[in-house]
C-alpha cells in the first residue's frame, strides 16, 4: 500500500485519539521526563522581603536529594531546578519562561506566592505545563474548568474565613466584630470568606481597618479597633503584624474573643513574640502539626521528621513551620509522581493529581486527608480549630470538611 500524506495524517491522528489503548503499559514521555530523570521546576523568594519563605524551597530541594540518594522514583532521578523570583511577579514570569522554554521542565511544583502564581496562571495553562500544588492559599487555584493545569495544596483562605465566621456566630453572644486585615488579595480572600460565613449577620462587623506591609507597627490600627467597642477580633495579618496586634490588644487592655488566621499560627513566630500570656484563648484553624507544639513531641510522624531534619538539614531552625510545610507537600508530590508509573506525560500527571482518594500525608493533623477529583482541585480542605492554651495549641471540636463555593 502506498502511503500518501493524507492517509498518514489519518492514522497518526487516530493514534493520537486513543493514546491509552496503544500505549498501555509502555513508557511514554513528555518534555522533561525520560528513562533516567524527571525535571521539576520551582520558584521561591530566596531574596527580598519575603525571603523567610525561601526555607520551603530549601526543604523541597533537600527532599529530592534524599529521594535521589535512595534510588529516585520508579528508577528515575528528580532534577529539581528552583529559581529565585524575589516574590516579584514580573521576575516570576521571566524565570518560569526560562524553566518551561529552555530547561524544558516536566512540571512546575510549589511556585510560591499569590501574586507570583497569578502572573503565570494563564501562561502555564496555555503551555499545558502542570502548575502543581502551588504555595499559596488563595481560593482561585481550584478552577479545573478554566485552568485544568493548575492546582493548589493547602486549605484556601476563603474556606478558612467561612469557618471563623460561623464559629464566631455560634459561640459569641451578641458578637460585635472588629477586623484587622492586610490590604491586599490575601486579606480580602479571608475577609470575603468571613463575611460569607457570617451570612445575614455580616452587619455584626462593626469596624474593619487595614494595614500595609510597609507599616512598621499596627498599634494605631488596634487602638481604633478597641475604640469600636468590639468583642470579637479577627486578625488577618502576616506573622509579624499578627504578633504585634495580639500584644497591643493586651497592652491597651482590650480583651475580645480573638481569631488569628492559619498563616500566622506558628508558636515560635507569632505566639511567643506576642507573649504567651497575651495569646491565651486565641483561636485558629490548623491542618499541619506545629513543630514547636509540645503535644506532638512523641508523635511518630513528628519524630520521623525531626530525625530527617537532623540528618539532612542539621543547621536549619526546626521551629520554622516552613520546613514542615515543605516536607509535607514534597511527600504528596512524591506520591503523585510515583502513581504516574512509566507514563510520564503531563496529562497523566494531572490525572493522577486529580484522582487522589483519602491519602494520608505525614504531618497533617490526625483525621485530615488529601482528596481530589477531576472537579475538585483543592487537595486539603479540612481544618480543625484549636485554641491557644499555656504554650501550645489545644485542638478542639471535629475536623471540619468545608466545601468552598
Contact region for other proteins (CB under 8 A) — 44-52, 63-71, 349-357, 385-393? 44-52
**Minimum gap (Å) between residue 196 Cβ and other proteins:** 23
Cα–Cα distances in Å, from 31 out to 39, 98, 105, 127, 344? 9, 14, 7, 12, 9
Partners of 52 in the beta sheet? none
| Contact stretch for other proteins (CB under 8 A) within 98-106, 246-254, 343-351, 397-405 | 246-254
Nearest-approach distance from CB 130 to other proteins, in angstroms: 29
Residue 118 CA to residue 250 CA, distance in Å, equals: 37
**Least distance from C-beta 93 to other proteins, angstroms?**
22
Contact mark string toward other proteins, 268..307, x via CB under 8 A: xx--xx----------------------------------
* 317 interacts with other proteins by CB under 8 A: yes
Number of H helices, E strands in the chain: 14, 13
List of residues 6+ apart from 320 with CB closer than 8 A:
52, 55, 266, 268, 269
User: How far apart (Å, rounded) are the C-alpha atoms in residues 45 and 160?
Assistant: 25
Member of 192, 201, 215, 299 binding other proteins (CB under 8 A): 215
Stretch touching other proteins by CB under 8 A, among 149-157, 244-252, 306-314, 332-340: 244-252
DSSP characters for 305-341?
A: HHHHHHHH-TTS-TT-HHHHHHHHHHHHHHHHHHHTT
The region of 11-19, 60-68, 208-216, 373-381 touching other proteins under the rule CB under 8 A is 208-216
Query: Shortest Cβ distance from residue 259 to other proteins (Å)?
Result: 20
| Main-chain phi, psi angles of 37, to 5 degrees | -145, 160
Burial 301-325 (b: 16+ CB within 10 A, else e): bbeebeebbeeebeebebebbbbbb
Exactly one of 196, 209, 347, 399 binds other proteins (CB under 8 A); that residue is 209
- The footprint of other proteins (CB under 8 A) covers 47, 49, 51-52, 54-55, 183, 209-217, 219-221, 223-224, 226-227, 239-240, 243-244, 251-253, 268-269, 272-273, 316-317, 319-320
Amino acid at each position: 500500500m502506498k502511503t500518501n500524506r493524507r492517509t498518514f495524517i489519518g492514522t497518526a491522528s487516530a493514534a493520537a485519539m486513543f493514546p491509552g489503548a496503544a500505549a498501555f503499559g509502555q513508557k511514554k514521555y513528555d518534555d522533561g521526563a525520560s528513562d533516567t530523570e524527571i525535571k521539576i521546576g520551582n520558584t521561591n523568594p530566596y531574596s527580598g522581603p519575603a525571603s523567610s519563605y525561601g526555607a520551603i524551597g530549601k526543604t523541597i530541594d533537600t527532599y529530592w536529594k534524599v529521594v535521589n540518594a535512595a534510588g529516585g522514583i520508579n528508577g528515575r532521578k528528580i532534577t529539581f531546578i528552583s529559581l529565585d523570583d524575589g516574590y516579584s511577579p514580573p521576575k516570576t514570569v521571566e524565570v518560569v519562561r526560562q524553566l518551561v522554554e529552555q530547561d524544558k521542565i516536566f512540571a512546575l511544583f510549589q511556585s510560591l506566592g499569590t501574586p507570583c502564581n497569578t502572573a503565570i496562571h494563564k501562561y502555564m495553562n496555555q503551555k499545558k505545563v502542570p502548575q502543581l500544588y502551588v504555595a499559596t492559599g488563595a481560593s482561585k487555584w481550584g478552577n479545573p474548568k478554566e485552568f485544568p493545569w493548575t492546582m493548589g495544596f493547602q486549605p484556601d483562605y476563603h474556606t478558612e474565613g467561612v469557618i471563623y465566621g460561623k464559629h464566631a456566630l455560634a459561640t459569641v453572644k451578641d458578637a460585635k466584630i472588629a477586623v484587622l486585615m492586610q490590604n491586599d488579595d490575601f486579606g480580602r480572600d479571608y475577609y470575603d470568606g468571613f463575611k460569607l460565613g457570617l451570612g445575614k449577620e455580616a452587619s455584626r462587623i462593626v469596624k474593619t481597618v487595614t494595614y500595609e506591609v510597609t507599616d512598621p507597627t499596627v498599634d494605631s490600627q488596634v487602638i481604633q479597633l478597641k475604640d469600636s467597642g468590639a468583642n470579637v477580633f479577627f486578625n488577618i495579618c502576616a506573622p509579624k503584624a499578627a504578633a504585634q496586634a495580639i500584644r497591643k490588644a493586651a497592652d491597651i487592655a482590650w480583651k475580645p474573643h480573638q481569631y488569628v488566621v492559619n498563616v500566622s499560627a506558628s508558636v515560635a513566630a507569632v505566639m511567643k513574640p506576642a507573649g504567651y500570656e497575651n495569646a491565651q484563648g486565641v483561636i485558629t484553624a490548623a491542618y499541619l502539626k506545629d513543630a514547636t507544639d509540645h503535644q506532638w513531641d512523641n508523635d511518630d510522624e513528628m519524630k520521623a521528621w525531626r530525625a530527617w531534619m537532623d540528618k539532612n538539614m542539621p543547621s536549619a531552625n526546626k521551629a520554622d513551620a516552613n520546613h514542615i510545610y515543605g516536607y509535607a507537600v514534597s511527600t504528596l508530590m512524591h506520591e503523585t509522581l510515583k502513581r504516574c508509573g512509566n507514563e510520564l506525560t503531563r496529562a497523566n500527571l494531572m490525572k493522577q493529581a486529580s484522582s487522589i482518594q483519602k491519602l494520608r500525608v505525614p504531618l497533617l493533623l490526625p483525621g485530615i486527608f488529601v482528596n481530589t477529583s477531576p472537579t475538585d482541585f483543592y487537595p486539603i480542605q479540612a481544618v480543625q480549630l484549636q485554641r491557644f492554651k499555656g504554650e501550645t495549641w489545644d485542638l478542639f471540636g471535629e475536623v471540619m470538611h468545608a466545601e468552598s463555593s
